Structure 1
Amino acid sequence: MAYKYKEVADGIRADIKSGKYVPGELMPDQNQIAKNYNTTRITVHKALQLLIVEGMVYSKRGSGTYVRKDYISDDKNGKSGEVSPIDKPLGATLTNQGKKVTSKVLELSARIPTKRESEQLIIPATEPVYVIRRVRYVNDVIFAYEHTIMPTSITTLTKKVLEGSIYGHLLKDNLSIEGSHRRVSADAASQEDIETGIAEKVGEPVLVINQLSYLADGQPFEISESRFPYKTSSITADITL
């Protein structure tokens, strides 16, 4: 028998896919949803968190829960939404425990976000964001090139933090990471990929992961693109039915 929160999530998911709730629309508040499903607000909160991780909805503090503006239903593209989580958002350091993980910091700066960045991160257009570029190494072998955008209000970052684990730093700040919406694709290597050591020549395959990551309260805290050498990269997904 399915848990109640999964039953609620299934119902809301069906409503979104059927078009009852359209992209960008504010959904009923949690108390109303709890009443509709004859359950508790805590159960509804857990159901919505599941849908946040799936990339269907997002939560905005003080406003409510919205259907993601970039969500496309199965009926429109034949896919189960635009993005889906792959494994857990642990980052390179925690994923490669027991190995030597280091970083070469290429950039740590701050600027005003673009319109799309402010919409994705659900922050005011005037709130600064960090721009982070670094190359990650595992046992002294190039693992990935990361380009990350993060609100400066989330935490204080330094070059020393970037040389280690950003996610580990967030955990020390008592910030709990809930999940990520990830898009995995292949790309042809660019000149920048050669300069960062991800590829040996222009045009060879590169594994790319774009993701938007969320804290436990549903607040987006990171937009990132990671590029991986095709010869040494693979993805593992644990599927539970």
Structure 2
Amino acid sequence: MYKYQEISENIRKKIVQGNFKAGEVLPDQNQLAEEFNTTRITIRKAIQALIIEGIVYTKRGAGTFVRKDYLQNLDDMGNSFDKPLGTTHTHPNKKIESKVLKLDARLPNPEEQQRLMITATEPVYVIERVRYIDGKVYSFEHTIMPTAIAEITETVLKHSVYHYLTKECGVTISGSHRIVRADKATSKDVQALGVKKDDPVLVIKQVSYLEDGKPFEFSESRFPYQTSQVVADVDLNN
């Protein structure tokens, strides 16, 4: 296990044990570096790992805070994946197309407020689209995104949203907290994916984070079982 992973695990245990409570600020990076006898770079990597897990977040100029929903995220850790690369990135040399079913804006409901760490008065985009790979249905996406992140148009949605955010808007995406499960196809799945009612579908529900730990996307992607699989690499040496 690398040094930053040991530190990350140590801080995580302190949070779970109540040494740092929800909403509380952690010691600054200089203090943590002194406590763990290491460099600020190593501390920064340890904090980044906790951000990706959805346990802490940072505020520029204010420090690193324990998320109020960290217990829920810890409960879900067994089914989480942390690389929100997007369909275009994960399928190079393939033809990726999108059919936009919905692009709207409204105020967030309570769950969306909690997941995205926003207030009831901060509007969000409601996005629904079907993704195709080489002309075949790949997924049906339902996404909630704060309108403050960037201007999202149908033109943007027909291509890679992550590419648009990172390359054109200067946003740095850091990681995601994912839950993977199976479900039965709904009537919306029948229309969007072309599956049969009650067919099994793969569902990935995720919250994605910016570099400072702020959530910018709360989404659910649904995949037909015939073309779906989850691949995870497990390194027993770390």
TM-score by length of structure 2 reads 0.88
**CA deviation string 1:146-181 (max 9, x = no partner):** 000111111111101100000110121221211100
Deviates more, 1:28-37 or 1:135-144: 28-37
Instruction: Give the corresponding residue for 1:229.
Output: 224
Alpha-carbon distance, 1:198 to partner: 5.1
2:173 aligned partner: 177
**d(CA) in 2 for partners of 1:104, 1:160:** 10
Deviation at 1:144, TM superposition (A): 0.5
Q: Structure 1 residues 124 and 41 mapped into 2: Cα distance closer, same or farther (>3 Å)?
A: farther
- Provide the identity percentage: 53
Mapped partners of 1:223, 1:114: distance in 2: 12
Rounded to whole Å, the distance in 1 between the matches of 2:84 and 2:161 is: 12
Q: Is the 8 A contact 1:55 1:71 kept in 2?
A: yes
Task: Spell out, residue by residue over 1:5-55, the C-alpha distance to the aligned partner (whole angstroms, 9 max, x if none).
Answer: 223212102212334334454433434333322334443222111012123
Which moves more between the two structures, 57-66 or 187-196? 57-66
Distance 2:60 2:201 in 1: 37
Whether contact under 8 Å (1:178, 1:216) holds in the other structure is: yes
Give me the whole-angstrom Cα distance separating, in 2, the residues matched to 1:198 and 1:146: 14
Structure 1 residues 129 and 146, CA gap change in structure 2 (3 angstroms): same
2:29 is aligned to: 30
Quick one: distance in 2 between partners of 1:188 and 1:70?
28
Which residue is 2:116 aligned to?
121
Name the aligned partner's letter for residue 50 of structure 1: A
Q: Is the 8 A contact 1:212 1:224 kept in 2?
A: yes
- Larger helix fraction of residues: 2
CA distance in 2 between partners of 1:9 and 1:3 (Å): 10
**Runs of 5+ consecutive residues of structure 2 not aligned to the other structure:** none
* CA contact 1:198–1:227 (8 Å) conserved in 2: no
Unmatched tracts of structure 1, length 5 or more: 74-78
Contact 2:82/2:177, CA 8 A, preserved across alignment: no
RMSD of the TM alignment (CA)? 2.3
Check the 8 A contact 2:32/2:43 in 1, yes or no: yes
Q: Aligned partners of 1:187 and 1:23: how far apart in 2?
A: 32
